Amino acid sequence: MPSIKDVLSAAGAISKGMGITFKEMLQPTITEDYPDAPPNFQERFRGGHLLQRDESGLEKCVACFLCAAACPSDCIYIEAAENTEKVRISGGERYASVYNIDYNRCIFCGFCVEACPTDAITHGHTFELASFNTSTLVKRKEDMLVNIPALPKPIVVHEEVAAGH
């Protein structure tokens, strides 16, 4: 038979636990209502990768292979090509004509992002990557490359204003 001391100790533990429960019941709900509502990502969340462009629309990747060298899963495949006078794809001498990431192997460690000297590769917030067909998990450059940024609207100065009238 439990002693009085044990009973008091158990009652104290239960009342402490219930106190925390009731206190939390009065707090605002922070549970995400996924998939009915889109998740609210923290900025630092490491989702599917993006290949970035500079402000002129050129690709930031200069095919230096540092991301592939840093990847512990060996899941980045790059083929480099030279920019020419007629065709310029990136701001450097070379660009990635092929850039694949195999999401069958990627562990979202972020080492590729840290290794990139031009901030060309970043993590986006896509996360619903699961598939029954593993061949669809090899993402190509075209899947990851961000759109060309919209050019700013030209400022129209009317002749009268320009002349100070």
* Interface region with ligand SF4, contact rule CB under 6 A, candidates 81-89, 114-122, 126-134, 145-153: 114-122
163 vs 165: CA distance, rounded Å: 6
Shortest separation between residue 44's beta carbon and ligand SF4, angstroms: 13
Kindly tell me which residue out of 116, 139, 141, 144 binds ligand SF4, with binding defined by CB under 6 A: 116
- Applying CB under 6 A, the site for ligand SF4 has a residue count of 28
Among 63, 89, 139, 144, binds ligand SF4 (CB under 6 A): 63
Does position 67 bind ligand SF4 by CB under 6 A?
yes
- Please say which residue, 139 or 162, places its beta carbon nearer to ligand SF4: 139
For ligand SF4, the closer CB: 9 or 56: 56
Give the interface with ligand SF4 as residue ranges (CB under 6 A).
61-67, 70-73, 75-76, 78, 96, 101, 106-112, 115-116, 118, 120-121
